[in-house]
Amino acid sequence: MFQRLKRSEARTVSLSVDGRPVTAFSGDSVAAALLAAGILACRTTPVSGAPRAPYCMMGVCFECLVTIDGVGSRQACLARVRDGMRIETQQGRREAGR
């Protein structure tokens, strides 16, 4: 799990993750927001269905793929949170048209 160091004047942002409301701070990446909210695994793999979580946080490992506002396989560590953002974790293989 991850926790925040004290932080005073940051603006909060409201997201939904798999339909549940989550509060993040502006400036967070989506991956950081998920970890701060206690959501560790963000997808399961297409090959074996194993759970995966952010690993590198710098855009090279592609473990943190999630669906953001309907667009699948976005790198959560490279996307910044925005108010009203809809995030879905990904289960196994992607399907065409989703």
The site for another protein (CB under 8 A) is made up of: 1-5, 7, 10, 25, 27-29, 32, 35-36, 40-41, 45, 47-48, 50-63, 65, 71, 73, 77-78, 80
Task: Compute the distance between CA of residue 81 and CA of residue 69 in angstroms, rounded to an integer.
Answer: 11
**Between residues 1 and 19, which has the closer beta carbon with respect to another protein?**
1
Checking DSSP bridges between strand 86-88 and strand 71-75, what pairing results, if any? unpaired
Least distance from C-beta 92 to another protein, angstroms? 12
Q: Minimum distance from CB of 19 to another protein (Å)?
A: 21
Give CA 31 to chain center in angstroms.
4
Smallest gap from residue 87 Cβ to another protein (A): 16
Q: How far apart are CA 14 and CA 91, in angstroms?
A: 23
Structural tokens at position 71: 């667009």
